[in-house]
Structure 1
């Protein structure tokens, strides 16, 4: 056993930032435990390669949610990163911070230091934006954010024109003065390679002598001395090992694995733990509860003009784009599948946008075994417009099934379980057809493939989105932050209520979900969390 100042569980979007920030001075020793392995894989580094990693057990936990009545009984696939960089190494790279109002609501819920004026400096410090610095954007940070406006497929421009004709304003920067409108997504890449949290933060920091990263190290429980966390037990290469912390254990394992590890360690709902013969260290009823996630669906059309299908499907097209990527790091393989998108309100009375849009200049209706068919799209010219809800009111939970640390937890999304969520999604899918009916897109449509022109009634539309919706991989709030231990897991300084020497710092602490993709906000949480740790230990 060795003792470190800080033991961090997880090297994902927040954990990588914590490792870099806490080790930067050279005075503090830091150990990072990562259950997965290296991120030095071709399909991890190639941006569009996440179609290959979507089911790959070498880099992906490949969780399966419980059958959900809100999703017509479907059991959804939940990919989560199991490698350096965590889910930032297998995600779609869309760089969205969340709306100003999201963070102001966090602060208003009793979390000082988490309002927009507080998190904006952290966001700016994190990023190096290719579009340049301004009042909202940063330069010279470790995360390179690519501006794709000059690289998008021509169909994306048709989408932007059609959406504006449908009533949405053009927005040049969703992370700028306002979020509402349609535009081109910026993505976390640099020179045609994925800019994961590991690449931006962890790998450069690993040159420091005071930072140690252990891969293949599966944390099995947190060690306590009374009510103080003093280390972590983990399995590596078939051996049980222990690492002690002189100052703190920081759990940054993500919205699935963080509550799982706490529960395995005796921190969680008392009845659950007692039923599994796990001694209760601290009864916290909300560990694993308050699960929030964005649910999404695509509408797909067959086009009269070529789409990316015609270049990504045939062998010669694959050879062409592959050669272009290998030689120049450009072309479709250097981008995300979501080139355009936006945010809109399903009702003018909504105080802020409640839906996110995604435009894809290709289609993947025909399934492909063993991978997400991004790199093998449909054999006909197709394109999709998708959406996801930004602030669903439905709540689920993540709970361990047994005391076995290697057993996957029970994930119960409870999607579309409120009338509000069903009603706003119904309005939203109708708006997709409104966009497609505008001349810039309507004139190039051969036919609607999914859900198809026969699906028109409210009842049929609802049945369709229940059947075809699924997670867009933004789970949060399973160790939510708040001042009241009866409603939250960590306090506004991210310390676990009722215990010492233990924090949770990752997307699981979000008090509520944000509007948009969650990776940027997860990285910001790691940055802010590191500041708080350093401040608290400098006093």
Structure 2
């Protein structure tokens, strides 16, 4: 059995950062255990290739949520990265930090050091922003952020103009002074390749002698001496392995895997663990609870002019785009599906935006078996405007259903389970049609495809978004941070309440969800968590 100073479980958005920061000085040995395999795969590195990873079990956990009454009984598909880089290796790459008010609310909830002013230096240190450095943007950091304003499809500019005609301001930087408005999304790419946390942080760390990375290593249990974490058990190539941590064990498996592992290790709701025959090491009813996620939906229109459908669907178009990508690392394959978007308020009496927009210059109404049909869009010219709620009030949970670590946990989302979530989504989808009715986007619309012009009443609109919407892949808060052990899982230094030698550093610690995509904030959490570890290690 080998001993390391620190064991990091999970190599995703936070875990990759933790491993790099802990190992940088050379003082500490670090073991990283990743259940998946290598990120050196073509469709992982090619930005628009994530349609091919959407259901791929080689790189994706492919979770299925429980049938959800709020989603008309649907069982939502939950892709999560099972690969070096975690979900940062299969996500849509949009770089949004979140609103300053989100983090200030974390601090005001009793988490000193987690306000926006406290975290801004970390965000800036992480970034190498192509748009240049400012008081709010960083340059020279490990994560390159591409400014796509010169690269987007011409239809994106039509969308931006129509959204402005509908009343939204133009916003040149959603990570700037304010979020509200529409603009072009910055994305995590460099040189036409995906800039995952593995590429930015873990790969450089792997060159160090004090870093060991084990892939295909499923951690099944945290080991304890009394109530101090001292190591982990994991399965690799069918054999049980054990590793010892001289200092601390860090759980960075994300909002699904981290509460699952805590529960398997005897930390969680006492009755659940007892029913499954798991000895209760430390009872905490909040492990796996307080699940928050953003729910989204697309409205789709048939266009009078060509969209990316006409390039990406035919074989000759695929060949042309492929050659452009292979030779020049440019073109649509080098970008995200979401070229533009923004943030808006469903009610102008609200203090700040509560909805996020996404503009896609292609459509995927017709399904394709076994993959998300990004690379094989519809045969007609089409485009979509999507949205997701930013701070829904609905809450769910993630609980193990077996003591067997290979059995997927039960994911209960409870989407749209509050009247306020339903009401704001109803207002939001109406606003999508308001944008589409504005010139110059209205000038090129042939017809609305989804949900279709017959869907007009409030009841029909609600039924439609229950049937067609689902996760936009931002689950958080299942091991939420807070000062009170009776209402949280970790303290403001990310130590698991009631135990020693064990921390959680990933998006599961978010006290509440943020306004926007969660990858940037997850990477920041890894940076901040590593700082706390290094401070406590002297």
Distance, in Å, in 2 between the alignment partners of 1:28 and 1:400 is: 33
- How far has the Cα of 1:106 moved from its partner? 0.3
Distance, in Å, in 2 between the alignment partners of 1:191 and 1:443 is: 35
Q: Which runs of 5+ in 2 are unaligned?
A: none
Distance, in Å, in 2 between the alignment partners of 1:38 and 1:241 is: 20
Q: Deviations over 1:485-532 (max 9, x none)?
A: 111000000000000000000000000000000000000000000000
**Matching of residue 279 in structure 1 with residue 279 in structure 2:** yes
Runs of 4+ off more than 6 Å: none
Matches within 5 A, 1:26-425: 26-425=26-425
SS of 2:289's equivalent in the other structure is: coil
The alignment's C-alpha RMSD in Å is 0.4
SS of 1:440's equivalent in the other structure is: coil
Distance, in Å, in 1 between the alignment partners of 2:350 and 2:295 is: 19
SS of 2:242's equivalent in the other structure is: strand
Q: Deviations over 1:110-129 (max 9, x none)?
A: 00000000111000000000
Q: Which runs of 5+ in 1 are unaligned?
A: none
SS of 2:384's equivalent in the other structure is: strand
**Matching of residue 449 in structure 1 with residue 449 in structure 2:** yes
Distance, in Å, in 2 between the alignment partners of 1:394 and 1:255 is: 16
SS of 2:297's equivalent in the other structure is: strand
Q: TM-score scaled by structure 1?
A: 1.00
Distance, in Å, in 2 between the alignment partners of 1:42 and 1:339 is: 21
SS of 1:302's equivalent in the other structure is: strand
**Matching of residue 477 in structure 1 with residue 461 in structure 2:** no
SS of 2:247's equivalent in the other structure is: strand
Distance, in Å, in 1 between the alignment partners of 2:461 and 2:487 is: 36
Distance, in Å, in 2 between the alignment partners of 1:428 and 1:70 is: 17
Distance, in Å, in 1 between the alignment partners of 2:299 and 2:215 is: 40
- How far has the Cα of 1:168 moved from its partner? 0.3
Distance, in Å, in 1 between the alignment partners of 2:216 and 2:286 is: 29
Distance, in Å, in 2 between the alignment partners of 1:273 and 1:227 is: 17
Q: Deviations over 1:256-283 (max 9, x none)?
A: 0000000000000011101111001110
Distance, in Å, in 2 between the alignment partners of 1:24 and 1:95 is: 25
Distance, in Å, in 2 between the alignment partners of 1:398 and 1:281 is: 19
- How far has the Cα of 1:449 moved from its partner? 0.2
- How far has the Cα of 1:349 moved from its partner? 1.2
Distance, in Å, in 1 between the alignment partners of 2:62 and 2:357 is: 26
- How far has the Cα of 1:16 moved from its partner? 0.1
- How far has the Cα of 1:350 moved from its partner? 1.1
- How far has the Cα of 1:470 moved from its partner? 0.4
SS of 2:440's equivalent in the other structure is: helix
Q: TM-score scaled by structure 2?
A: 1.00
